[in-house]
Amino acid sequence: MSVTHQEAIAKCVTAILALDEEIVTEFRRGNPFDKLIRSFDEFTADGKPLYRNKRGSNHYKMSVAAKTSGLTADKLYGEHRIPVSVIIRRLLDSDRSYESIYKILKEGEVVLITEGEAKLLDRRVSNGGSGLRNRMPESGLCRLDEAGIMIDSSTLTNQL
Protein backbone atom coordinates (compact mmCIF):
# COMPACT_ATOMS: atom_id res chain seq x y z
CA MET A 1 0.00 0.00 0.00
CA SER A 2 1.35 3.40 -0.97
CA VAL A 3 0.37 6.69 0.62
CA THR A 4 1.13 10.21 -0.52
CA HIS A 5 3.24 12.53 1.58
CA GLN A 6 0.10 14.53 2.41
CA GLU A 7 -1.81 11.42 3.50
CA ALA A 8 1.10 10.42 5.74
CA ILE A 9 1.18 13.85 7.40
CA ALA A 10 -2.61 13.77 7.93
CA LYS A 11 -2.31 10.29 9.48
CA CYS A 12 0.45 11.51 11.82
CA VAL A 13 -1.65 14.51 12.89
CA THR A 14 -4.66 12.21 13.41
CA ALA A 15 -2.59 9.90 15.63
CA ILE A 16 -1.19 12.80 17.66
CA LEU A 17 -4.63 14.36 18.19
CA ALA A 18 -5.97 10.99 19.37
CA LEU A 19 -3.56 11.06 22.32
CA ASP A 20 -4.44 12.26 25.80
CA GLU A 21 -5.17 16.01 25.79
CA GLU A 22 -2.25 16.70 28.15
CA ILE A 23 0.14 15.07 25.68
CA VAL A 24 -1.36 17.06 22.77
CA THR A 25 -0.90 20.27 24.75
CA GLU A 26 2.74 19.44 25.47
CA PHE A 27 3.38 18.49 21.84
CA ARG A 28 2.20 21.93 20.73
CA ARG A 29 4.97 23.60 22.77
CA GLY A 30 8.29 24.30 21.07
CA ASN A 31 6.93 24.34 17.53
CA PRO A 32 6.91 20.65 16.42
CA PHE A 33 3.18 20.78 15.60
CA ASP A 34 3.70 23.90 13.49
CA LYS A 35 6.52 22.20 11.56
CA LEU A 36 4.41 19.10 10.96
CA ILE A 37 1.50 21.20 9.64
CA ARG A 38 3.83 23.18 7.34
CA SER A 39 5.38 20.01 5.94
CA PHE A 40 2.02 19.03 4.42
CA ASP A 41 2.67 21.47 1.54
CA GLU A 42 6.47 21.34 1.40
CA PHE A 43 6.71 18.16 -0.70
CA THR A 44 5.06 16.66 -3.77
CA ALA A 45 2.72 13.73 -3.26
CA ASP A 46 5.67 11.41 -3.94
CA GLY A 47 7.98 13.21 -1.50
CA LYS A 48 10.05 15.54 -3.70
CA PRO A 49 10.94 18.86 -2.02
CA LEU A 50 8.93 21.87 -3.21
CA TYR A 51 9.33 24.70 -0.76
CA ARG A 52 11.99 27.19 -1.89
CA ASN A 53 12.61 24.88 -4.85
CA LYS A 54 12.29 25.76 -8.54
CA ARG A 55 9.92 22.83 -9.14
CA GLY A 56 7.35 24.63 -6.95
CA SER A 57 6.14 26.58 -10.01
CA ASN A 58 4.72 23.35 -11.41
CA HIS A 59 2.94 22.35 -8.20
CA TYR A 60 1.82 25.43 -6.26
CA LYS A 61 -0.84 27.87 -7.31
CA MET A 62 0.64 31.33 -7.92
CA SER A 63 -0.64 34.87 -7.66
CA VAL A 64 -0.94 36.84 -10.90
CA ALA A 65 1.93 39.08 -9.74
CA ALA A 66 4.13 36.06 -8.91
CA LYS A 67 3.38 34.36 -12.22
CA THR A 68 4.13 37.47 -14.28
CA SER A 69 7.18 38.51 -12.22
CA GLY A 70 9.55 36.19 -14.04
CA LEU A 71 10.88 34.98 -10.68
CA THR A 72 11.37 31.27 -10.12
CA ALA A 73 9.49 29.57 -7.29
CA ASP A 74 12.58 29.53 -5.07
CA LYS A 75 12.58 33.36 -5.14
CA LEU A 76 8.88 33.73 -4.25
CA TYR A 77 7.08 33.48 -0.92
CA GLY A 78 4.99 30.45 -0.02
CA GLU A 79 1.93 31.71 1.85
CA HIS A 80 -0.78 29.54 3.36
CA ARG A 81 -4.30 30.54 2.35
CA ILE A 82 -5.17 30.05 6.01
CA PRO A 83 -2.57 31.04 8.64
CA VAL A 84 -0.94 28.04 10.32
CA SER A 85 -2.12 29.25 13.73
CA VAL A 86 -5.72 29.18 12.44
CA ILE A 87 -5.19 25.74 10.86
CA ILE A 88 -3.96 24.43 14.22
CA ARG A 89 -6.95 25.92 16.02
CA ARG A 90 -9.32 24.32 13.48
CA LEU A 91 -7.58 20.96 13.88
CA LEU A 92 -7.91 21.11 17.66
CA ASP A 93 -11.58 22.14 17.40
CA SER A 94 -12.42 19.45 14.81
CA ASP A 95 -13.84 16.00 15.43
CA ARG A 96 -10.21 14.85 14.90
CA SER A 97 -11.11 12.24 12.32
CA TYR A 98 -8.65 11.58 9.50
CA GLU A 99 -11.14 12.92 6.94
CA SER A 100 -11.62 16.20 8.82
CA ILE A 101 -7.90 16.64 9.42
CA TYR A 102 -7.01 15.99 5.77
CA LYS A 103 -9.66 18.48 4.63
CA ILE A 104 -8.43 21.20 7.01
CA LEU A 105 -4.81 20.69 5.95
CA LYS A 106 -5.76 20.74 2.26
CA GLU A 107 -7.80 23.97 2.65
CA GLY A 108 -4.70 25.70 4.04
CA GLU A 109 -2.75 25.14 0.82
CA VAL A 110 0.33 27.21 0.00
CA VAL A 111 0.19 29.79 -2.79
CA LEU A 112 3.33 31.42 -4.20
CA ILE A 113 3.24 35.22 -3.95
CA THR A 114 5.70 38.09 -4.37
CA GLU A 115 7.62 39.78 -1.60
CA GLY A 116 5.40 42.85 -1.93
CA GLU A 117 2.26 40.73 -1.57
CA ALA A 118 3.73 38.97 1.48
CA LYS A 119 4.38 42.36 3.08
CA LEU A 120 0.83 43.47 2.26
CA LEU A 121 -0.56 40.40 4.08
CA ASP A 122 1.80 40.59 7.05
CA ARG A 123 1.94 44.30 7.84
CA ARG A 124 -0.48 45.86 10.24
CA VAL A 125 -3.23 48.02 8.79
CA SER A 126 -1.64 51.05 10.46
CA ASN A 127 1.52 50.35 8.40
CA GLY A 128 -0.30 50.04 5.07
CA GLY A 129 -0.90 46.31 5.19
CA SER A 130 -3.95 44.12 5.54
CA GLY A 131 -3.13 42.85 9.05
CA LEU A 132 -3.85 39.24 8.06
CA ARG A 133 -0.60 37.56 9.09
CA ASN A 134 -2.15 35.40 11.81
CA ARG A 135 -5.88 35.73 11.28
CA MET A 136 -8.63 35.33 8.76
CA PRO A 137 -10.63 38.35 7.60
CA GLU A 138 -13.92 39.06 9.34
CA SER A 139 -15.60 39.13 5.92
CA GLY A 140 -15.23 35.36 5.67
CA LEU A 141 -13.23 35.67 2.45
CA CYS A 142 -9.92 33.93 1.86
CA ARG A 143 -7.25 36.23 3.25
CA LEU A 144 -5.53 36.42 -0.15
CA ASP A 145 -8.80 37.57 -1.74
CA GLU A 146 -9.34 40.09 1.05
CA ALA A 147 -5.87 41.56 0.38
CA GLY A 148 -6.57 41.73 -3.38
CA ILE A 149 -4.09 38.97 -4.23
CA MET A 150 -5.57 37.09 -7.17
CA ILE A 151 -4.55 33.57 -8.22
CA ASP A 152 -3.31 33.25 -11.81
CA SER A 153 -5.87 31.09 -13.63
CA SER A 154 -3.15 29.12 -15.45
CA THR A 155 -2.01 27.71 -12.08
CA LEU A 156 -5.43 26.66 -10.75
CA THR A 157 -4.86 23.02 -11.72
CA ASN A 158 -1.41 22.84 -10.10
CA GLN A 159 -1.27 20.28 -7.33
CA LEU A 160 1.20 18.70 -4.96
At 139-154, the pLDDT tens digits run: 878 889 989 999 999 9
DSSP state letter for 59: T
β-bridge partners, 87? none
pLDDT at 123: 85
| Residue 61's pLDDT band (cuts 50, 70, 90) | very high
At 37-50, the pLDDT tens digits run: 999 999 999 989 88
Sign of the Cα torsion 81, 83, 86, 92 reads: positive
- Would you put residue 96 in left (φ > 0), alpha (ψ -120 to 50) or beta? left
| CA–CA gap between residue 113 and residue 81 (Å, rounded) | 11
Q: Evaluate if residue 1 carries a pLDDT over 80.
A: no
- Determine how many CB atoms are found less than 10 A away from the CB of residue 13: 22
Q: Where are the domains of the chain?
A: 5-155
Rounded CA Rg of the chain: 16
Task: Record the pTM.
Answer: 0.90
pLDDT at 101: 97
Q: Evaluate if residue 106 carries a pLDDT over 90.
A: yes
Report the chain's mean pLDDT, rounded to a whole number.
Answer: 91
What SS3 class is residue 78? strand
